A = this chain, B = another copy of it.
């Protein structure tokens, strides 16, 4: 009897598509490549996790939960929504966002699956393959991931740590050409914790105006500014530059898992007629966020008590001040004072650390000796810095800083006075 033909062998491996190959998260690939083995004698303190919910120290108010529970019980919101979102939910976002200098209506709002999907739609609608977009360095990694996966060239413009991470305007302008489809600006910033002044926003807008390039404003940390700073949205300052603003519930309402984001179209200069149509078309690819959260959006945006925002911010600002003070005193480190958001960047005088090559090496060794994990800023295209997350439980801040100090005391050989904090 002949053996049965084994057909299994005849299938070759199916290759992944070009787009899948081009989709690449630098944080994942850097972190996955790191040796993260904590010192077994010390419990791990993770200063790396950008998710403000993981420590359980920042509660969300009952009003937010009850808004969703109400809608579940009503049984009225299980169905499909329009792909751009329920009218009522879009109206709620318009009311929440609209200001004297940047008035908008529900027609200007598109709901998305978190701010990431808002950014995806904005990049997708503005830029075609062969064009380029400008993104900040250091900057949030998803801009690059999204752009490159779409076959769009990504160019960096530098931020200046010595100027509280303001944009290097000359460098930004030098990166522009006739194929530049958009510039992404993020203030308050991840990973910098910087907040731009009205004047600096005007300077950025001037560069965009001169070159007729629209802006994508990543406003996910809107209103998230510490007491010495004032929040200005890009749109409230822009007189002429058309802006797509991306935001959502993720950060201010501390519900990143809910995946509720939005785009607000600020169509200065009547330039976005086609872009609105395009966003509408593209929204049909994603069909909008979860209907329960959509239906609760009006209640969430209107009934969340002011005290919740204030208390969350105060908590984070207290942490920021303590972190900044303690790390400023550590030889070989140079923190940049945070002004908002949830992060602080810290420069490393790597040249004067014995046996430490760079930020990845620094953060790996800090874990293995002190069980403190900070994200190397290589993840944000900015080597020789690391990022600290400011949302951790208060009581861990001092311990974390003591351990970082012990680490630096051991390894640093430079003159700490020559490496002074900004």
CA A24 to CA B127, docked complex, whole Å: 18
Q: Which residue of B lies closest to A258 (CB)?
A: B290
A12-B212, A271-B12 known; A281-B68 Cβ under 8 A? no
Kindly list chain B residues whose C-beta atoms are within 8 Å of the C-beta of A268: 8, 11
Tell yes or no: A364 within 8 A of B by CB. no
Task: Determine, out of A53-61, A299-307, A398-406, the stretch whose residues face the partner at the interface.
Answer: A53-61
Q: How many copies does the complex hold?
A: 2
Asked if B274 and A14 make an inter-chain contact with CB atoms under 8 angstroms apart, the answer reads yes
Partner of A288, one of B240, B242, B254, B259: B259
Q: B residues within 8 A CB of A256?
A: 78-80
Residue of B nearest to A182 (CB): B14
Q: Is A113 an interface residue (CB 8 A)?
A: yes
List, in ascending order, chain B residues with CB within 8 A of A124's CB. 17, 19-20
Contact B285 A120 (CB under 8 A): yes
Asked if A92 is at the interface of the complex by the 8 Å CB criterion, the answer is: no
Contacting residue for A16 out of B51, B125, B149, CB 8 A: B125
A131-B281 Cα distance, complex, nearest whole Å: 23
Contacts of A170 in B (CB 8 A): none
Cβ contacts under 8 Å, A214 to chain B: 14
Q: Separation in Å of the A121 CB from the closest CB of chain B?
A: 9
Evaluate contact between A80 and B59: CB separation under 8 angstroms. no
Q: Are B17 and A259 in contact, with the CB atoms below 8 A?
A: no
Q: Does A41 touch B at the CB level, under 8 Å? A: no
A286 within 8 A of B: yes
Q: Are B281 and A20 in contact (CB under 8 A)?
A: yes
Interface string of A105-142 (1 = CB under 8 A from B): 00000000110110010001111110100000000000
User: Which of A19, A254, A287 gathers the greatest number of chain B CB atoms within 10 Å?
Assistant: A19
Tell yes or no: A393 within 8 A of B by CB. no
